[in-house]
Amino acid sequence: MLATIPSSVVQGVDGHPVAVEVHVSNGLPGYTLVGLPDASCRESRDRVRAAILSSGYRWPTRRVTINLAPSGLRKQGSALDLPIALGILVASDQIEAARVSGLGAIGELGLDGSLRPVPAAVSLADAVSATDLAVPAAVAEQAAAVRPDPVLAVEHLRQLVDGLIGAGPMPPSVAAPDASAAAGCPPTGDLAEVRGQPLARWALEVAAAGGHHLLMTGPPGAGKTMLASRLVGLLPPLDGAQAVATTRVHSAAGLAVPSGGLVRHPPFRAPHHGASMVAIVGGGTAAMRPGEVSCAHNGVLFLDELGEFAAPVLDSLRQPLEEGVVRVSRAARSVTLPARFQLVAAMNPCPCGDGADPVRCRCSESSKARYARRLSGPLLDRFDLRLGVRPPASEVLLGGAPEESTAVVAARVAAARARAAERGVRCNAELPAPVLEAAAPLSTAASEVLANELERGRLTGRGLRRVRAVGLTIADLAGADGPLGADTVRAALGLRAEPTAFLGEAA
Amino acid sequence: MSPSSPHLDPDTRARLILLRLDQMGPARLQWLLAGTEAPAVLDALRRGRLPLGGDAAPPGVHRSLVERWHHDLADIEDGVDGIVAAGRELGVRILSPADPAWPFTDDPEPPGLLFARGDLDLLAPDTAVAVVGTRRCTALGRTVAYGLGRDLVSADAVVVSGLALGVDGAAHRGALDHGRAVVGVVAGGLDVVYPRANRALWDEVADRGLLLSETPLGLRPDRWRFPARNRLIAALSDGVIVVESHERGGALSTADEAIRRDLPVMAVPGSVTSAASRGTNALLLDGAVPVRDALDVLAYLGRPLPGSVTGGGGDGRAADAAHRGDDTRSEVGRVPGPSAAPPPGSMAARILAEVATGPIHLDDLVAVVERSVADVLAAVQDLQAQGLVELEGSTVSHPRPGPS
């Protein structure tokens, strides 16, 4: 008897359809699994056997051959347990073949027959070519997000088989979560908790409204991390497509997907500065697990202690920053992972952190020069907003008027982003050069200001475009129309401190 | 015994050999040469003996050292011609006390020989000023040293320093950017660049100014050679300025050597909390002359002040301030000149008033001026374009001349 159950495997964040073909024939009892299974896949035999027996079904004492097609694609992971079990039950005549027609399955089996959640459920569910899909109940919501029809949320192998053969009710159906539903509160702290620091607060607002990359420099304890984590609260919640795309990455990376099945808030990823290249870019396992840049897709990637990251790791950020994707190539295959993130970085002015105060700084000239060298160059050029932060004075921390809350600032950000949306982009940082020139004409006075900066060598052609984009965002926040004024351009310039200014004068 | 080198008189040659002996510093050489000539000393050493010149044992010379000298002597004598040739290739001149350009005629502790690359006229200047200080200086120290180098050279003085990182390098830089009257005195052989980071500066000093050492070619700058180098810096100068020095900094030994030679010692006052100014502040307490800039230095040394008619006092200072103003403007280039001062009571005027009291972070400026960040940033940028303030990082300060 032959049975075929549609299923899928994942590489990177892309699912690939796999047909699980099970053949049970006369001959010496045996079990053969072919079609490039890796170790985790081959272990399925023992799980499936135990699960079938624990659920009260028969293990065929005949020759069992399982082919995972297409056979050229490497299979890994435990999500093929359920389709293999179903295939064996059909091929050994315990389920009628007609009952499973059009049914696909993914899921890992426990020895007792219970269904365990699998990573990358979103991508897996997306790739299964079948009208119905049985998935572990724990990941049913995410899986349903990418399916046209509701999915079967299965708790236990027996529950599914009983439903199929009519011995019990079918497992419950779960429909796709409503992507446009209210997103609820953002998971991070409120901006009102940041006392003082008007410059950094405003830079955060501009960053949120325009999607501009932000670099904060300051001594330890200046509140850089606190500020950065407030940024995601200012960003608008993800729209339907973004939510699905980000959920797909998070699911593939094995991150917890919030209840409701979709990641609705821009993610905030803060990898440690010891992170390896693979951890940042992705591609560690055979499944080409997404890295931090992809986990921050549609959200914020925060690099604290930027100067402590390995230079190759920092260099690897340049492709995703430019293209919004990261291409990971390994010997056998390459995958393209989504990685459109807003980069927020914090750094100390020098290795000891006290560089702003030369008397307290304990760094040698050479270590400062090394630090500056590592940070100089193209990466720092990507930051449209660069500012120095400084711990607020104690009287501001202890008293002072309460600051604006996240909700108030987020409303202004949303209004500014609405204006950007009229230009056909989500935020001004994404504006292509010709559109930017049309959208942000310069007043005569503003042109003079910029011409002066160019002449003095303080601005490059690339910097000029970025200043215009930031100026446009500032005008959007202020609700100003018409050509950019001189003061708007000056404010944009003021948010663009030369990164070397923070690094001392290490010659 | 190798033949005498061509173009090298026997005395110079003997001195060169003696200087290459292990641990041969200026004090030992001076003792050995007391009352006799270098070839005679060499002869004695070849026999494994000390010359019978001194009454007491030379400073720190033990029997074992004399034996080592005796042992090394043959190799050194064989290698001397090669070293002289290599030096000639590098453009190194060897000056001996017999040379008319020898600058140490009256010095209490002259070097045995002087190795030089560059313009020997700089050995006989009207005014030579040493600008020295710690390698671990603050940005302020660097700026002051740069300004001293620049302004002293502009006033036709020769700037002498030690080509180290920090203050020394900044003083050289400032002088080279505005002239060529620069003397760099280094501790090691002229072919052993130290610190390596200063290689470009080193070559520039040799090409445009004068690079000096008392250490023969090929020898590394051992620790003990630095205080010896500092003595030469003092000996070549009419006065020593210490810009910044830690409590026990090497620059203080330059000051000591200046005192030994009855030369004026000047120091730049620093913050009493700054570790990098602890040594200089102590010098001031001991009676060194406080100086703020090149004008103070020239006035104290009694040299003519640039741009001044009377040549002294407050008038001169004012004239110099005007002179420096010109400088700043020429550096800034074709920027629209400073417009009229902002009207009193305006935000710009308030910002200027705040900045006048010292550098201020934008956060504080926003709090004081009580306007939006965007407004303050725009005003600060405008003031910066006029050259009235400087925005560095996120801190607003007075524009200051110097390296940027």
Is A369 close to B197, i.e. CB distance below 8 A? yes
Give yes or no: residues A313 and A286 share one domain: yes
Q: Which of A366, A453, A487, A502 to mutate to test the interface with B (most CBs of B within 10 A)?
A: A487
Give yes or no: residues A167 and A241 share one domain: no
* A222 in Cβ contact with A389 (< 8 Å): yes
Among the CATH numbers 3.20.20.10, 1.10.10.60, 3.90.79.10, 1.10.10.10, which is that of B347-397?
Answer: 1.10.10.10
The minimal CB distance from A491 to the residues B367, B377, B394 is found for B377
pTM above 0.90?
no
Which CATH number covers residue A251? 3.40.50.300
Q: In this predicted structure, what is the pLDDT of residue B358?
A: 78
Torsion over CA: A173, A83, A8, A79 (sign): positive
* The token pair that represents B332 in the structure block: 């800034």
Q: Quick check: B392 contacting A, CB < 8 Å? A: yes
Q: Which of A360, A366, A409, A493 to mutate to test the interface with B (most CBs of B within 10 A)?
A: A493
Q: Which of A178-182, A292-296, B82-86, B130-134 has the lowest mean pLDDT?
A: A178-182
User: Based on the structure, what is the number of domains in chain A?
Assistant: 2
Q: In this predicted structure, what is the pLDDT of residue B334?
A: 33
Architecture of domain B114-301: 3-Layer(aba) Sandwich (3.40)
B 114-153 near A (Cβ less than 8 A) = 135-136, 138-140, 142
- In the sheet with B265-267, reading across from the earlier edge strand, the strands are B93-95, B114-118, B210-213, B182-185, B158-161, B128-132, B239-242, B265-267, B289-290
Assigned domain for A181 exists: no
Q: In this predicted structure, what is the pLDDT of residue A222?
A: 84
* B112 in Cβ contact with B12 (< 8 Å): no
Give yes or no: residues A270 and A399 share one domain: yes
Asked whether the predicted pLDDT for residue B293 surpasses 70, the reply is yes
Q: Quick check: B287 contacting A, CB < 8 Å? A: no
Q: In this predicted structure, what is the pLDDT of residue A480?
A: 87
Angle at A280 between CA A277 and CA A284, to 5 degrees: 70
B 227-256 near A (Cβ less than 8 A) = none
Q: Which of A197, A199, A489 to mutate to test the interface with B (most CBs of B within 10 A)?
A: A199
The stretches in chain A having pLDDT less than 70 are 179-187, 332, 354-362, 364-365, 376-377, 400, 499-507
Give yes or no: residues A6 and A151 share one domain: yes
Domain boundary among A124, A148, A174: A174
Name the residue range of residue A150's domain.
Answer: 2-174
CA distances from A152 to A90, A175, A177, A247 (A): 19, 9, 14, 20
Asked whether the predicted pLDDT for residue B207 surpasses 80, the reply is yes
- Among residues A137, A110, A112, A139, which one has the least CA distance to residue A126? A139
- Tell me the average pLDDT across B223-230: 93
Q: In this predicted structure, what is the pLDDT of residue B171?
A: 94
Give yes or no: residues A7 and A138 share one domain: yes
| Rounded Cα distance, A504 and A353, in Å | 11
* The token pair that represents B397 in the structure block: 């300060």
Chain B residues lying within 8 Å of A474, measured CB to CB: 374
Asked casually if ipTM beats, i.e. exceeds, 0.85, the reply is no
Helix (H, G, I), strand (E, B) or coil at B177: helix
Assigned domain for A179 exists: no
Q: In this predicted structure, what is the pLDDT of residue B311?
A: 37
Assigned domain for A183 exists: no
d(CA B26, nearest CA chain A) in Å: 31
Average pLDDT of chain A is 87
Assigned domain for A182 exists: no
* The token pair that represents A226 in the structure block: 């606190």
Each residue of A362-392: pLDDT tens digit?
A: 676 677 777 777 776 677 888 899 988 888 7
d(CA A260, nearest CA chain B) in Å: 40
Q: Quick check: B371 contacting A, CB < 8 Å? A: no
Is A491 close to B374, i.e. CB distance below 8 A? yes
Chain A residues lying within 8 Å of B394, measured CB to CB: 199, 387-390, 497
Give yes or no: residues A162 and A286 share one domain: no
Assigned domain for A186 exists: no
* The token pair that represents A445 in the structure block: 């006075």
Give yes or no: residues A100 and A153 share one domain: yes
* B128 in Cβ contact with B156 (< 8 Å): no
* B161 in Cβ contact with B135 (< 8 Å): no
Each residue of A341-353: pLDDT tens digit?
A: 999 999 887 777 7
| Rounded Cα distance, A454 and A446, in Å | 12
Domain boundary among A121, A145, A174: A174
Q: Quick check: A488 contacting B, CB < 8 Å? A: yes
Each residue of B266-276: pLDDT tens digit?
A: 999 998 888 88
Domain boundaries defined on chain B: 10-90, 114-301, 347-397
Domain boundary among A148, A174, A200: A174
Give yes or no: residues A19 and A64 share one domain: yes
d(CA A128, nearest CA chain B) in Å: 53
Average pLDDT of chain B is 84
